[in-house]
Amino acid sequence: MRTTGSRGLRLLAFVGTAALLGTGLSACGDSSGSGDGDTLVFGASAEPKVLDGAFVSDGESMRVVRQIFEGLVTTAPGKTDVQPRLAESWTSSADGRTWTFTLRDGVRFSDGTPLDAKAVCANFDRWYHFTGVRQSPSVSYYWSTVFGGFAKNEDASLPKSLYSSCAPGSGRVAVIELTRPSAAFLSALTLPSFSIASPAALEKYKADEVSGQEQSPRFTGTFGTEHPIGTGPYVLRSWERGNQLVLERNESYWGQRARIKNVVVKAIPDGGARLQSLLSGGIDGYDLVDPADVKTLEDKGLQLLDRPAFNIGYVGLNQSTPLLKNLKVRQAIAHAIDRERLVKNNYPEGTLVAQEFMPPGVFGYADDVVKYEYDPAEARRLLAQAGVTSPKIEFWYPTDVSRPYLPDPAAVYQLVKGDLEKVGFSVQARSAPWTPEYLDSVQSGKAQMYLLGWAADFGDPDNFIGTFFQKSMPEWGFRNPELAGMLDRAEATTEQDERIAAYEAANRKIMELLPGVPFVHTRQSLAFRSEVRGFVPSPVQNEDFATVTLTTK
């Protein structure tokens, strides 16, 4: 027995030593240290889906598309103002239906072909002539959102297209005709979905080739996965799905060349995992910092960059419910909620309390909307006036989710619930996982009162209040032709001063109608190592890696 025992102990010692040695050896073999001035590793929250701008609507695909492609116009760094990119200037006709873009001279796609008016029109015509699965809102979301329909709509629910035609004028001039006036058109063109791709590459790499059965179509071309050819400051070096995507500097870029040679985009879906990766030097920066991690990042001396608030969080009130159809009840709810406390307790420092359905940075924001101050006595008085005694309400909040405007839905729910109960409401909790149950319940009009929000895609009021109220939606449960008409006219006006006035009026009207209680505009943060410089956060996430530098340790 003795022999066995000592052998056993030796075995145990061997296992332990091997384990220690293993980790020790791995430490010696670490070759992935940070500080390579030629490569920036960025932690994204998901993998891009595809790198063809026409087919993307998710932030992570758009982030990469923005580095490889450029549109006719873009937003100013850190702002939402429209400024030139591939078009050096543009004019619109008095009726707002004809837009003439003059292109920058001497720009070439990374495959060497020239950017000219023909190439621009080829792109617009490509999008307009999408058929089959390419008309799906899950595929060409922004085309259908901005332009409505296609040359030949294959679904009865699609409206007539806003786009009519594009004519290449002399060399550098492209003339785009719309079927009706739209001022939001120009702001929408800042989206990466409308970036200009090389027509030669689109054809060569079969960007639009779809195969498979009717109910199970699949894209077979390699344009969006292997050969995305644009004019941007970076080109795709490699993309190994599931691992990482590598961008390389476009050495023949027409403008200021990118400072960093390689940008690696690595998907780390979990926010906590992104934080740990930054702390351990695995990545140089990441997006969508969890507000709870801000202190840790600051304590460790890492940089936090804030995006200007460009979203809205609100308590939705569905007027298809008899109780909420009553304006006085809705006003009572607005007065009952202590929004200052709600924001102070649940959001990071610097978060704005919302007064209307769009943030102050967007033109058309009205300072003089009806404000609903926290006043429980007034709330009780309004309920009494409405003749409602002990009102019962179902209040929905999502689980398993953290949105920029709703980092902790359950906590927000608890505070609002408490406020409502103080003035006499009896609140019944309803919760569901964010997607798809919760969104499904809200969007189908099933939820009476709910927490929701919106992060806009481009800097135009149409993308906030136009999205919410231009068409009647089940989640609001009301139809107001006057408001819809105001928003239609505001969208069509091309005179900027008139648009501002029109949207201000619409905002005043909305807050009188009180379809919900807006309560927050949050900032989103990105975190970087202190060596990373030159990254400019954009409210619409139009962020360029080309200006970033990385100082070596």
Touching another protein, residues 408-437 (CB under 8 A): 432, 435-437
| Burial state string for 381-390 with b = 16 or more CB within 10 A and e = fewer than 16 | ebbeebebee
* Cis amide bond preceding 436, omega within 30: yes
Min. distance of Cβ 136 from another protein in angstroms? Answer: 5
Q: Considering only residues 37, 78, 84, 281, which one is a binding residue for another protein as defined by CB under 8 A?
A: 281
Comparing CB distances to another protein, the nearer of 15 and 167 is 15
Which is nearest to 449 in space by CA: 474, 423, 475? 475
Site residues for another protein, 458-477, by CB under 8 A, read 471, 473-474
Cβ closest to another protein, residue 46 vs residue 410: 46
Please identify, among the stretches 11-19, 384-392, 494-502, 541-549, the one whose residues bind another protein according to the rule CB under 8 A.
Answer: 11-19
Q: How far is the CB of 4 from another protein (least distance, A)?
A: 5
Residue list 300-359, contact with another protein (CB under 8 A): none
Under rule CB under 8 A, residue 369 binds another protein: no
The CB density around residue 25, as the number of other CB atoms within 10 Å, is 9
Binding status of residue 30 toward another protein by CB under 8 A: yes
Choose among 44, 545, 514, 13: nearest CA to 277.
44
State the Cα angle at 162 between 478 and 366, rounded to 5°: 50
- Choice from 80, 123, 187, 277 touching another protein (CB under 8 A): 277
Count of residues that bind another protein according to CB under 8 A: 84
| Cβ–Cβ < 8 Å for 126, 194 | no
Tokens 């979301």 locate to 141
Contact set for another protein, span 54-73 (CB under 8 A): 55, 57
Backbone phi, then psi, for 428, in 5-degree steps? -105, 125
**279 touching another protein, by CB under 8 A:** yes
Q: Which is nearer to another protein, 191 or 452 (CB)?
A: 452
Q: Give kind and range of the element (H or E) at residue 201.
A: helix 199-204
Beta-sheet strands, E only, within 308-359:
311-317, 352-353
β pairing state of 262-267 and 39-44: parallel
**Closest distance between another protein and the C-beta of residue 32, in Å?**
3
**Smallest distance from another protein to CB 62, Å:** 14
The span from the CA of 146 to the CA of 291, in Å, is: 32
Contact mark string toward another protein, 209..248, x via CB under 8 A = ---xxxxxxxx-----------------xx-xxxxx-x--
Residue 244 Cβ vs another protein, minimum distance, rounded to whole Å: 6
Q: Is there binding between residue 272 and another protein (CB under 8 A)? A: yes
394 binds another protein (CB under 8 A): no
Residue with tokens 């610097």: 350
Q: Are strands 352-353 and 516-521 parallel, antiparallel or unpaired?
A: antiparallel
For the chain, counts of helices (H) and of strands (E) = 17, 23
* Interaction residues for another protein, span 105-144 (CB under 8 A): 132-133, 135-139, 141, 144
CB 312 within 8 A of CB 517: no
Rg of the chain over all Cα atoms, to the nearest angstrom: 26
49's CB contacts (< 8 A; 6+ apart) are 55, 56, 58, 60, 61
Q: How many Cα atoms sit within 13 Å of 105 on the Cβ side? A: 1
Contact between 15 and another protein by CB under 8 A: the answer reads: yes
In the complex, minimum distance from the CB of residue 458 to another protein, in angstroms, rounded to a whole number: 13
One-letter-per-residue 3-state SS of 180-204: CCCCHHHHHCCCHHHCECCHHHHHH
**Toward another protein, which CB reaches closer, 211 or 345?**
211
Contact between 261 and another protein per CB under 8 A: no
Query: Is residue 383 within 8 Å of 394, Cβ to Cβ?
Result: no
| Residue 2 interacts with another protein (CB under 8 A): yes or no | no
Subset of residues 137 to 176 that bind another protein, contact rule: CB under 8 A:
137-139, 141, 144-145, 155, 157-158
Our finding on whether 9 is near another protein (CB under 8 A) is yes
d(CA 391, CA 317): 14
Q: How far is the CB of 273 from another protein (least distance, A)?
A: 5
Residue of the chain from 73, 264, 358, 540 that contacts another protein (CB under 8 A): 264
The least distance separating another protein from the CB of residue 440, rounded to whole angstroms, comes to 4
Interface stretch with another protein, choices 18-26, 350-358, 381-389, 521-529 (CB under 8 A): 18-26
